[in-house]
């Protein structure tokens, strides 16, 4: 089982110096990957709150926001040589597949094949609508999105005629990703998310779960995979755990989890260094 780190890099404390230090230390520790989430804009009032906080809001510093993952990973790719970079998650309900395919193929090209493309529909209605898309049809649109991106990454010439996206003229997208098949890790705990993972993904990403919750989710995932004519096999399971006790880590390993992505937490200097050392210890014990 591999160990990754989830870093919610935020301005103003997520400086270039801090990010370069974290990336270098994580790579030197032999940790597999560094992950980032995505939110383009934040809102003071939302219909649906952020599910991982008590007040329903993303905890960002005053006057700060979340850094863009593609730009930040470009910076990290230049500061590292082996560290993989994963999105947890790219919000495909509020993106156009053409530009997204280009951005991530370019990042994979420049990093020599070190990108894991984690995707999901997200939870923030206001952000989806502000990005120019509708909320109610985000699921079917996400299916088409993954279909379009997959074709652009693998076909010499691509056309597409969907309900939500159209590429009416044969087009070429280059460079292609360095990886023969860039990993597509579909996040989400709902039945549509598991079905989407089984039909379009190379893996599934579960966020903020303990081992008991993960076991139940994997049972549901196995059913979705069977319905799609697939089985787990090489299908990758990635989890960001709620607890990191030795018992929990052993339980994740025994049920076939391929990668644990540990949340880094605060980027403040007094808390960052001890946390990095703790994650390095866990990685060494798992290895």
* 8 A C-beta contact, residue 232 and residue 255: no
C-alpha atoms less than 13 angstroms from C-alpha of 152 in its C-beta half-sphere: 26
3-state secondary structure of 31: coil
Supply the pLDDT for residue 221: 98
List beta partners, residue 4.
Answer: 33, 261
Supply the pLDDT for residue 268: 81
Q: According to the CATH classification, is domain 2-286 in 3.40.720.10?
A: no
pLDDT averages per 10-residue partition of the chain, 287 residues:
95 93 94 97 90 80 92 97 97 98 98 98 97 97 98 98 98 97 97 98 97 98 98 96 96 97 88 91 88
Is 0.75 topped by the overall pTM?
yes
Supply the pLDDT for residue 218: 98
Q: How far is residue 253 from each of residues 72, 206, 215, 258, measured CA to CA in Å?
A: 30, 15, 11, 7
Q: How far is residue 208 from each of residues 111, 115, 178, 179, 260, measured CA to CA in Å?
A: 28, 22, 31, 28, 11
Residue carrying the six token digits 């509020």: 94
Supply the pLDDT for residue 267: 80
Supply the pLDDT for residue 52: 74
Supply the pLDDT for residue 200: 98
Domain map (residue ranges) of the chain: 2-286
H runs (alpha helix) in the chain: 16-28, 69-79, 97-110, 125-130, 138-154, 191-200, 211-227, 246-254, 269-286
Residue carrying the six token digits 């997200």: 122
- Residue 240 has φ and ψ, to the nearest 5°, of -100, 110
H runs (alpha helix) in 111-189: 125-130, 138-154
Supply the pLDDT for residue 165: 98
């Amino acid at each position: 089982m591999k160990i990754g780190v989830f870093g919610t890099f935020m301005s103003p404390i997520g400086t270039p110096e801090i990010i370069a230090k974290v990336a270098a230390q994580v790579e030197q520790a032999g940790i597999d990957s560094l992950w980032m989430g995505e939110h383009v804009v934040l809102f003071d009032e939302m219909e649906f709150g952020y599910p991982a906080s008590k007040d329903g809001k993303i905890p960002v510093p005053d006057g700060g926001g979340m850094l863009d993952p593609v730009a930040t990973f470009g910076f990290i790719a230049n500061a590292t040589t082996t560290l993989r970079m994963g999105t947890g998650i790219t919000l495909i309900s509020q993106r156009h597949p053409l530009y997204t395919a280009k951005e991530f193929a370019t990042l994979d090209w420049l990093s020599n094949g070190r990108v894991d493309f984690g995707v999901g529909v997200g939870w923030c209605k206001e952000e989806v609508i502000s990005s120019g898309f509708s909320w109610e049809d985000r699921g079917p649109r996400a299916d088409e999105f993954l279909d379009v991106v997959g074709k652009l990454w693998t076909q010499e010439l691509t056309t597409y005629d969907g309900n939500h996206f159209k590429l009416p003229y044969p087009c070429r997208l280059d460079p292609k990703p360095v990886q023969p098949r860039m990993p597509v890790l579909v996040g989400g705990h709902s039945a549509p998310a598991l079905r989407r993972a089984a039909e379009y993904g190379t893996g599934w990403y579960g966020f903020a779960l303990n081992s008991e919750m993960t076991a139940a989710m994997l049972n549901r995932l196995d059913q979705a995979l069977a319905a799609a004519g697939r089985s787990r096999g090489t299908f990758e399971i990635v989890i960001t755990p709620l607890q990191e006790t030795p018992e929990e880590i052993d339980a994740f390993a025994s049920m076939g989890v391929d990668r644990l992505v540990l949340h880094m937490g605060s980027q403040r200097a007094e808390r960052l260094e001890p946390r990095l050392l703790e994650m390095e210890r866990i990685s060494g014990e798992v290895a």
